[in-house]
Amino acid sequence: MFMKIQNMETVIEIEGLTKRFGQATVLSDIDLRVYASEVVCLIGPSGSGKSTLLRCINFLESYEEGSVKVLGRLMGFEETPGGRRRASERVVRASRLALGMVFQQFNLWPHLTVLDNVTEALRSVKGLPRAEAEDIGRAMLAKVGLSEKVRSHPASLSGGQQQRVAIARALAMAPKIMLFDEPTSALDPELVGGVLEVMRDLAAEGMTMVVVTHEMGFAAEVADRVVFLEAGRLVEQGLAEQIFQSPESPRLKAFLKSWNDRRG
Amino acid sequence: MDLGLIIGSLPALARGAAMTLFVSLTAIALGLVLGMLLSFARMSENRWLSAAARFYISALRGIPILVLLLMVFYLLPAVGLEAPPLVAAIAALTLNTAAFQAEIYRGGFAVIPPGQIEAARVLGLGETRIKTRILIPQVIWLVTPALVNEIIVLLKNSSLVSVIAVTELMRVSQQLVSKTYKPTEVYLAACLLYVLMNLCLSALGSRLRRRIGGASAGGRP
Amino acid sequence: MAGYAPVVLHGLWVTIAICAASTLLGLAAGLAVELTRQHVRSLRVLCRVYVEGLRGAPILILLFLLYYAAPGLGLVLDPETAGVIGLGLYNGAYFAEIFRAGFESIPKGQVEAASSLGLSPLRILTRVKLPQMPALILPPAVNQVIILIKDSAVLSIITVPELTKETSKIINETFAIAEPLLVLALLYWALVEGVSQLGLKSERRLTRYLKRTEEGTRCS
Ligand SMILES: Nc1ncnc2c1ncn2[C@@H]1O[C@H](COP(=O)(O)OP(=O)(O)OP(=O)(O)O)[C@@H](O)[C@H]1O
Ligand SMILES: [Mg+2]
C-alpha cells in the first residue's frame, strides 16, 4: 500500500478552505492533499464537517475562502485579473466530470431501471449512443456483481444492491477520483460487506478514493491515509496504522476510545 | 378604469360582503353540528347507520353546489315546504359543508389515541360524556386549520346563492353592473373583496396551523 | 321525458369536453407558474399574486370578469372559450401548488446525484424530476379535477350549454322539476366517482415501480 504513494502526483489540493453556513463556520482553514491512487479516509464525530468537506470537493457546496483544486483545476471559481469569480454552471459541471460521488442514501432515480440509472449520464452528458452506453452500463453492473438486475427498478433491490448500483453509476463516467460519503451507514449490517468488497476491489485497481466512513475496520485495512476532523478543523492526519496505533492529539484519542467503547 | 365608481359602490359592496359572511358563517356553524353527527354516524357500529352516513357523505361530495342549491330551492316547495331564498341558500350550503366537515372530523377522531377513551371508560364516564368532554373538544382544536380552509371554500361557494336572488356580494355586484354598465370596475372590486376576506382567513389558518402543529385531518385538499 | 335523453347526453358530452380542456390548460398553467417561480427570481412575486389571487376568488366572479368585463377591454370570448379559460386558469393556481408539493417531495439527494454526474439543470428537470411528477401529484391532482368537474356546473350561468344548462332548459320546457334534477345530480355523482376510480387505478399503475419486492434497506 505504501508503494502506491511513490507516485506523488497531486490530484486534489485543498488550501485554507473555509466554509460557513450563515454565522456558523463549518470548516475552517483546511489544508489537505490527495495523491493519485491513494485511499484517504475521513473520520470524525458527527457534525464535524466530513460531508461538507466532501461536498466542497465537487462543489455541491460553495465555499467562502481558500481553494479546492482537482487535477489542477480550481473548483467552482475562476481567477480573473479583477479577482475571483463564481464559475458558470457549465464550467462547474465540466470540472465535476473528474469526480464520482456515492452518497449515504444511494440517491438512485426510482423511476428509471437500474441500467437506465447507470447509462443516463453517459448518454446525456457524454452524448454516447444508447447501445454503447448500455454496453458500458452492463460492464459496470457486472463489476459490482449485479448483472441480473439490469432491468429491475431500484425499489426492488436491497439497500446493499442499491448502493452498488450507485457505485456503478458513478464509475460508468470513468472518473479519476471517487468520493464516498458514508456509503454503508444506511445499510443493515449483513449488507455492508458486499459494498465494502466492491470498494476494496476499486482501491486495489488503483482508483483514487476519498471515503467518509465510520467503518474503522475498513479504514484500517484499506486506507493509505486517515484524516481526523473535529469541529470543522483538520486535527490530525497520517498513515492508517499511525492514526489507529499511536494517535497524537488528545481529541483523536478520545474519539477512538469512545469508538472502541461503543463496540464493546 | 372609473375609480370614482368603485369608491361610490363600496358601501353597497360592503353590505353584500357582510351578507356573504353571514351566510357562510351560519352555514359553517350549522354544518359543524350536522357534520359532527354525521361523522359519529359514519363511525357507528350500527351497520345501517354507518352505511347511510357514508352514502350521504359520498353523494353530497359528488353533487355540485349549484345543483344542490337548485334542488333545495325547487324541491322543497314541491314537498310543501315554502322556504325563502335566504333559508334555502343556507340549507344548501349547510348540507354540502356537513359532508366535507364529517370527513374532517373523522380524520380528527382517528388521531386521538384510543387509550384516552379506555381511560375514561375505566373511570366510569358514560359514552355521551366521553364524546362531549374528551373527544369533541380535542378534535375541534385539532381540526381548526382544516376548518378554516373549509370556511374559505364555503365563502367562495356562497357566491352561487346569488342565482336564487340572495343579495350577497355577488348579487349586489350584478345589480350594480346592471345599473352602471361597468362590469370591469364592479366585478374587479368585488373580486378583490373576496380575495381580501380569504387572505385574512388563510393568514388566520396558517397561524393556527403553526400553533397546532399541522394536525393531519381529512377534508378538501 | 325519455325524449330528452339526447339533450342530456349532449350536455354531458360538453361538460366532459370542457373539463378535459380546462384540466389540460390548468396543468399547463400550473406547471408553467411553478417552474417560473423556481427559476425566475424576478417573477416570484407575480407567481404568488397569481396563485393567491385566483385561489381567493370565487370561480363565478372570474367567469363574469372574463365574459362580461373582458369585452370592454376588446377581448370578446364566446361562452365556451371564456369557460375553459376561466376554469383552466383558476385551477392552474391550485395545480401550481400541487406541482410545488410534488417537486418538494423529490429527495434533494436525487438532484445532487445528477449534478455530481454532470447532468445539466434542464436534463435534470426532464429526466429526473418531471418523469416522477405523475406518480407524485396524482392523488391531489385527481382531487382537484373532481372539484373542477363540480365547478364546471357554474358555466351554466354564463350560458355554456353543458349538463346543468341543458337540464335547466328541460325544466323550463317541461315544468318537471324532480326527475331532471335527480338525473342531473346522479350524472355528476357518477362522473366524479368514475374519475376517482380511474385515479385510484392509475395510481396503482404509476407507482408500481416504487413497490419493493425484496427486503433489505433501512432507509431511502
Ligand atoms: N445545509 C446546511 N445548512 C446549515 N448547516 C449545515 C448544512 N449542512 C450541514 N450543516 C452543519 O454543518 C456541520 C457539519 O455538517 P456535516 O454534515 O458536514 O457533518 P458530518 O461530519 O458529515 O456529520 P455526520 O457524521 O453526522 O454525517 C453540522 O454542524 C451541520 O449542522
Ligand atoms: Mg455526513
pLDDT per residue as tens digits for the range C142-178: 999 999 999 999 999 999 999 999 999 999 898 888 8
φ/ψ (deg, to 5) at C150: -70, -40
pLDDT tens string B87-107: 999 999 999 999 999 999 999
φ/ψ (deg, to 5) at A19: -130, 130
Averaged pLDDT for residues A110-127 = 93
Q: Would the pLDDT of C219 be above 60?
A: no
List the grid coordinates of C191: 362522473
Instruction: Name the residue range of residue C10's domain.
Output: 2-219
Q: At what angle do helices A130-143 and A114-124 cross, to 10 degrees?
A: 130
- Cβ–Cβ below 8 Å for C211 and A155: yes
Which residues of chain A are within 8 Å of residue C110 when distances are taken between CB atoms? 107-109
Q: What is the pLDDT of residue B220?
A: 57
Burial B10-45 (b: 16+ CB within 10 A, else e): eebbeebbebbbebbeebbebbbebbbebbbbbeee
Of B75, B190, B197, the CB nearest to C181: B75
Tell me whether C157 touches chain B (CB under 8 Å). yes
CA distance B126 to chain C (A): 39
Question: Does this complex have an ipTM over 0.95?
Answer: no
A10: CB partners within 8 A, 6+ apart: A33, A34, A35, A36
Q: What is the pLDDT of residue B82?
A: 81
Q: Which of A18, A52, A53, A262 to mutate to test the pocket of ligand 1 (most atoms within 8 A of CB)?
A: A52
Q: What is the pLDDT of residue C1?
A: 64
The larger pLDDT score, comparing residue A1 to residue A159, is at A159
Q: Which atom of ligand 1 is nearest to the CA of A232?
A: 14
Instruction: Please give the radius of gyration of chain B, using alpha carbons only, rounded to the nearest integer.
Output: 20
Q: Would the pLDDT of A241 be above 80?
A: yes
Sheet containing A233-239, strands listed edge to edge, beginning at the edge strand earlier in sequence = A99-102, A177-181, A208-212, A39-43, A225-230, A233-239
Report pTM. Answer: 0.87
Chain C residue with CA closest to B151: the answer is C56
**Mean pLDDT lowest for which of A193-207, B2-16, B29-43?**
B2-16
φ/ψ (deg, to 5) at C217: -90, 155
- Cβ–Cβ below 8 Å for C118 and A161: no
Q: Which of A17, A21, A179 to mutate to test the pocket of ligand 1 (most atoms within 8 A of CB)?
A: A21
Domain ranges of chain B: 3-103+140-216
CATH for C111: 1.10.3720.10
* Total domains in the fold of chain C: 1
Mean pLDDT taken over chain A: 92
Residue nearest to atom 2 of ligand 1 (CA): A21
Averaged pLDDT for residues C12-38 = 97
Mean pLDDT taken over chain B: 89
Which residues of chain A are within 8 Å of residue C116 when distances are taken between CB atoms? 58, 60, 96, 99-101, 170
Q: Would the pLDDT of B133 be above 90?
A: no
Q: Which atom of ligand 1 is nearest to the CA of A22?
A: 4
Phi-psi region of B124 (alpha: psi -120 to 50; beta: other; left: phi over 0): left
Q: What is the pLDDT of residue B5?
A: 84
Mean pLDDT taken over chain C: 92
Closest by CA position to B35, among listed B88, B105, B87, B91: B105
How far is Cα C174 from Cα C11, in angstroms, rounded to an integer? 17
- Cβ–Cβ below 8 Å for B67 and C181: yes
Tell me whether A48 touches chain C (CB under 8 Å). no
- Residues near ligand 1 (Cβ within 6 A): A 21, 26, 44, 46-52
Averaged pLDDT for residues A219-229 = 94
| C39 burial via Cβ count (<10 Å: 0-12, 13-18, 19+) | exposed
CATH of segment(s) B3-103+140-216 = 1.10.3720.10
Q: What is the pLDDT of residue C220?
A: 37
A-facing residues of C in 169-188 (CB < 8 A) are: none
Q: Would the pLDDT of B221 be above 70?
A: no
Q: What is the pLDDT of residue B218?
A: 47
Question: Are C37 and C93 in contact, with CB atoms under 8 Å apart?
Answer: no
Burial A198-234 (b: 16+ CB within 10 A, else e): bbeebbeeebbbbbbbebbebbeebbbbbbbbbebbb
Which residues of chain B are within 8 Å of residue C178 when distances are taken between CB atoms? 75, 78
Q: What is the pLDDT of residue A16?
A: 95
Averaged pLDDT for residues A94-112 = 93
